[in-house]
A and B are shown apart, each in its own frame.
Chain A
């Protein structure tokens, strides 16, 4: 027993020194990197400090966050962290408590935004440049075979084809994530459509459903939106509803028109904007397009890059756009 123990102790010691010897072969020292980082921060001029970007769970948003985050970290020397939260309530809660500094792609929580501005803890910074499009979509194969399905007037004709085990004898209309703006139940009722909304419950479920429907030529109609990375992979077509007119969606239970185009917003914490951080200016000036965002999102999903790699690639390819945010 004794001898064994001593042997063991010896073995562990040998193993430990072997690891030390191995790792000594490559790489510099921690002190060298610390110095490099210090000089980088000094070169950026001014103090950035901490930047806590709220990240809502869809890939387009990840693209926004990591591009802004990379510019802030590399050019301004900010200490960037990503606060991963559901949109709406939790995100505003983070702005209020100081756990997050900025929401980069706010879709449609007008109520929450109004309340937050009234409360004085949030600032509306206007559009990040991209536009939110919400609507009813079908997979492309369906639109090819039955072009008239893209007009809502013909939807009842096809209702039986959309029947599933979930839809109780009517056609199934696939709703999406509970956090998204949806009033399809009201639209269906007010247009007299013979459909039943079945909620997919999450973005993953919605995307998988459209993917599968296109691959297997299944009948599917549901709620979808742009910008969304999957449009590059799975073609789908928008169904025309009665045109949106100002105010036709004023009362949610009486809506009988299409969704409005959504002006997306950047919303920041008031305290952060007043803090004098050099990142505040960057956030204010950051804008890009749906195509820019979809491209970065495609790098992440189809090309399997990490968000950091995807952001770095786009930044390297678009120096002028990045420079404009810092002027």
Chain B
């Protein structure tokens, strides 16, 4: 990874060796103020709870929601969206008939699987190297051998088309934010909105405008995958070393010249990182897109969910992971190669062209053969998928029955001990009390810079008429983030201190982050039943890996010299961790908490599917009932406001703690793979 998405280097944050504990400016520690606010909150709550809570039952809606619903349902497809939908359909259908689906009466697509594998392998070799070519060939064969050839090709097509649009739209935007900071602020605000808005809320609109299937899938995926390429490429172009620009400016070049000849070529690697992140974000939409018949591997995952068949969903879920790894490694290797070639390194270009040309011959043979022989056109059927699924199911059953009692006890302890009391305080308080208390807490934690965003977001939440639901979601988010941070501290410190542990745990984390949440909903449900805790567990599985990795990298970033110094004075391991490593990795801890919160928040709607109710339920209800679309939209916007408020307060807090890179760090949103 490049500097653009790398975790912060801690040594740049803390100039002095062992920093003092965080202190507010007034000389009284900040946590004391937090306690003061909380005590005041509890005092007022105890006499006023249950009044003015703005509670709204699941099937009620306010006039505001009804008006919004009317507005939303007045949208329908129009000439412009129809043209766009037809255009996307034409491209997707052409590609699908080329490599994915048969065109009757022909029993197979125009190019059979053997031809597709050959072409893909050749491309892997052409843009990267032979190792990548092998990886590509292996991945494609696994799609077929597990019986999901057609769905895999569909997903590849939808992803490619969406990413192509994202590049065409996103790259000019990236250049724009790089050269104009003022435009950048507005565009960034738009990107924030796109990234925090639950993807189910896009569906609600987009399918009305663009119809069912591929066009909606592409538009939704595009909306979700656009931010990374704009942010990261823009960051890369802007960040080209000023010395280089100075040097070339002295030659008297114009702005476009500078952009095309210096900035963009020099930012090439960062731009490809942006592309890479966009591809992975696009893949993570696979399941949601299949809610509106978007073609791809999401369909079998969703079908398995309705059949409560964990194993059957696991296989296509893992194939999405395989596709993610393949695309990630390929783009990364391609960027490294392009870097090497541009420096004049690498192999003799004429010889390489010759080899690639010669290799086209077997590719052409494979393509021809796959049009002729049925076994090369349609992938032979295997029972691999079913046997993997059955094994997975029996594992899951023995696991869930073994830990069932312990799981129930743990879930009850968290629910009764933490969730319910906190929910009672947040959601049973009169709205004005929670409003005031949250605002005060934001100011205590984030300082003056947090005031404006906190006021705006809280006011927005109030005006959207879903205050009670929003407080329930905020509560679940806080509890889930607390669990995430406990895990991140324990595992992150452990990983940061031992290479071996890191080596063992990291692949597990990668898997947790990459497997679609819909795959593990079934075992989590079997353990905890439909409760808020189930939603919390699903969110923790998704959010913890990112936080753990950030903490581990932060701990590892503490300079050896400092640790040696501590050891020489005879500090114990515990002292070393608490007095040296954790304080010095403070920047990483804040960043991990911030990312953890946002990741947890992005799971709210999925939580609504497994018994968490509140805003997630409202969004799904709105998607299914057109007369509740307004309430669904309001719920989606409430989630956005919660996300922006948390993010801004955390950023302000991070700046006060001296963790400046939280500001500089471009948000990659779908940091879905790493």
Contact = CB atoms under 8 A, between A and B. Distances in A.
Do A and B come together as binding partners?
A: yes
Given A20-B365, A93-B207, A208 B58 contact: no
A29 B374 contact: yes
B652 to A, nearest CB: 35
Given A5-B347, A208-B529, A165 B624 contact: no
Given A165-B419, A199-B58, A34 B105 contact: yes
B309 A301 contact: yes
Contacts of A201: 530, 608-613, 616-617, 620
Contact of B530 (A57, A87, A174, A179): A174
Contacts of A204: 305-306, 308, 521-522, 525, 609-610
Contacts of B612: 201
Nearest to A61: B306
Contact of A9 (B359, B531, B608): B359
A1 to B, nearest CB: 6
Interface residues on B, range: 35 or more
A200 B299 CA distance: 22
A97 B130 CA distance: 47
A164 B531 contact: yes
B530 A16 contact: no
A199 B77 contact: no
B26 interface: no
Interface in A185-226: 185, 197-209, 211-212, 216
A120 B613 CA distance: 36
A56 to B, nearest CB: 9
Interface string B164-207: 00000000000000000000000000000000000000000001
A147 interface: no
B607 to A, nearest CB: 8
A208 B400 CA distance: 12
Interface stretch (A78-86, A130-138, A148-156, A280-288): A78-86
A165 B609 contact: no
A111 B626 CA distance: 10
B57 interface: yes
B307 interface: yes
Interface in B74-128: 77, 104-108, 112, 114, 118, 121, 125
A197 B58 contact: yes
B373 A23 contact: yes
A205 B303 CA distance: 14
B371 interface: yes
| Main SS at interface, chain A | helix
Interface in B505-536: 521-522, 525-526, 529-534
Which one of B105, B305, B373 has the greatest number of beta carbons of chain A within 10 Å?
B105
B118 A16 contact: yes
B366 interface: yes
B429 to A, nearest CB: 15
B369 interface: yes
Given A27-B373, A30-B374, A90-B292, A12 B611 contact: no
Interface in B310-325: 312
Nearest to A57: B306
Nearest to B118: A16
Contacts of A166: 415, 531-532, 611
Interface in B599-641: 608-613, 616-617, 620-621, 623-627
Interface residues of A, number: 76
Given A13-B362, A99-B211, A34 B624 contact: no
Which one of A24, A93, A206 has the greatest number of beta carbons of chain B within 10 Å?
A93
A33 interface: yes
B355 A9 contact: yes
Nearest to A9: B355
A201 to B, nearest CB: 4
Contacts of B624: 86-90, 178-179
B105 A41 contact: yes
A28 interface: yes
Nearest to B401: A215
A41 B107 CA distance: 13
B307 A301 contact: yes
Given A19-B366, A198-B613, A58 B529 contact: no
A321 interface: no
A205 B611 contact: yes
A183 B60 CA distance: 11
B621 A178 contact: yes
A6 B107 CA distance: 38
Interface of A: 1-2, 5-6, 8-9, 12-13, 16-17, 19-20, 23-24, 26-34, 37-38, 41, 57-59, 62, 79, 83-90, 93-94, 97, 99-100, 111-112, 164-166, 174-175, 178-179, 182-183, 185, 197-209, 211-212, 216, 252, 300-301, 304
Given A5-B352, A59-B306, A90-B291, 8 more contacts: A12-B133, A23-B369, A26-B375, A29-B372, A185-B58, A200-B530, A201-B617, A205-B534
13 contacts: A12-B359, A13-B358, A13-B359, A20-B376, A23-B114, A23-B373, A24-B375, A41-B105, A90-B212, A165-B532, A185-B58, A207-B308, A211-B308
